Amino acid sequence: MTVITDASADRSSASGPEADRTAGLDATGARTPEAAGVITDARRRIDELDDRIIGLIQERMAVSAVIQQARIASGGRRVNLSRENEILSHYRDALGKSGTTLAMTLLELCRGKI
Ligand SMILES: O=C(O)C(=O)C[C@]1(C(=O)O)C=C[C@@H](O)C=C1
């Protein structure tokens, strides 16, 4: 494992990419090439997961729109609060308090602000 020495870290007082390189810093914030490799690989996986999550959210929005349109066309309301409470509980049970926040954001994306 390569460890960045104090002597090289001291050069980080300069600025710019060259200073970062000589200080052993890169966009990952790692202090060793090994750690930088782990972080770069893991970030690639996160980017792929985020793309899939975004795609799933877009799919959810489309399905939600079908439900809302059917309900409104039948004379009902856009929003169904008892169903929303089920969804909020589902996310809270799975992810905790922040899960509720996430579900609220998803619902807002799907049916707009209420
Ligand atoms: O399940 C419904 O009845 C929907 O309209 C879908 C949905 C949702 O996106 O999950 C959207 C609006 C409602 O207030 C409740 C839930």
Q: List the residue whose alpha carbon is closest to atom 7 of ligand 1.
A: 64
Ligand 1 centroid distance, CA of 96 (Å): 21
Pair 65, 101 in one domain: no
The answer to whether 32 and 1 are in contact (CB under 8 A) is yes
In the chain, how many domains are there? 2
Q: Per residue in 7-66, pLDDT tens?
A: 344 444 456 666 655 555 689 999 999 999 999 999 999 999 999 999 999 999 999 999
**Dihedral sign (CA 101, 107, 108, 114):** negative
Q: Which residues contact 92 (CB under 8 A, 6 or more apart)?
A: 99, 100, 103
pLDDT value for 18:
61
72 and 99 share a domain? Answer: no
Question: Whose CA is closest to atom 1 on ligand 1?
Answer: 83
Q: What is the ipTM of this complex?
A: 0.99
Atom of ligand 1 lying closest to residue 83 CA: 15
CB of 64 within 6 A of ligand 1: the answer is yes
- Note the pLDDT of residue 102: 99
Same domain? 69 vs 32:
yes
Quick check: 18 and 29 in contact, CB under 8 A?
no
| Cβ count within 10 A of residue 55 | 10
88 neighbors 100 (Cβ within 8 angstroms): yes
Domain that holds residue 105: 79-113
**Residue pLDDT, tens place only, 57-110:** 999 999 999 999 999 999 999 999 999 999 999 999 999 999 999 999 999 999
pLDDT the model gives residue 20: 58
Residues 70 and 34 in one domain: yes
